[in-house]
A = this chain, B = another copy of it.
């Protein structure tokens, strides 16, 4: 019905935003095209006017998630010294709030487990996101003199992701909190972030 010029674009963005949330919350196989389109206020058939296939959507949505993550990371380091910025990021990452907001949180933690089963297109995009994120962490560590910063950045990302995943996986809330707290304490101690908090 020949809507105004950017209508199609806006609709596509809405679908992608819904998908980015739903895929993180329920996994790439946990959400169907019909349900997703309904969430976006549309019907399922129209989907294929915007995306070649569901795999195509998933790959694009992964890109959107990493853009969101980049914005968050940029914001956290905007006005502070690198050590403070890193401390803030660790604090956010290992917070119960982040744990409980799977659909809005870090795509790496939300999707790592599903990646091995995903089509190459999405995996590739995910891999680039992981490398970028590890690089940011490494640079932040390097900025205040941590040695072997590239290795440390990857190690730190692994612990952040592992701790968040475990805290989401276990059934007991006390154990879940303890996992987050232990990882935070260990990371802070080892990269001299204690006093910055």
List residues of chain A with CB under 8 Å of any chain B CB. 26-27, 29-30, 102, 108, 111-117, 120, 123-124, 126-127, 130-131, 134, 148, 150-152, 154-155, 157-163, 165-166, 168-172, 175, 178-179, 181-183, 185-187, 190
Residues of B within 8 A of A112 (CB): 113, 165-166, 168-169
Query: Which one of B111, B155, B162, B170 contacts A182 once the chains associate, using CB atoms below 8 Å?
Result: B155
With A130-B175, A131-B172, A155-B182 known, 20 other A-B pairs at CB within 8 A are A27-B113, A112-B113, A113-B114, A120-B171, A123-B169, A126-B169, A126-B170, A127-B170, A127-B172, A154-B163, A154-B182, A155-B183, A155-B185, A155-B187, A157-B166, A158-B159, A158-B183, A161-B165, A161-B166, A190-B190
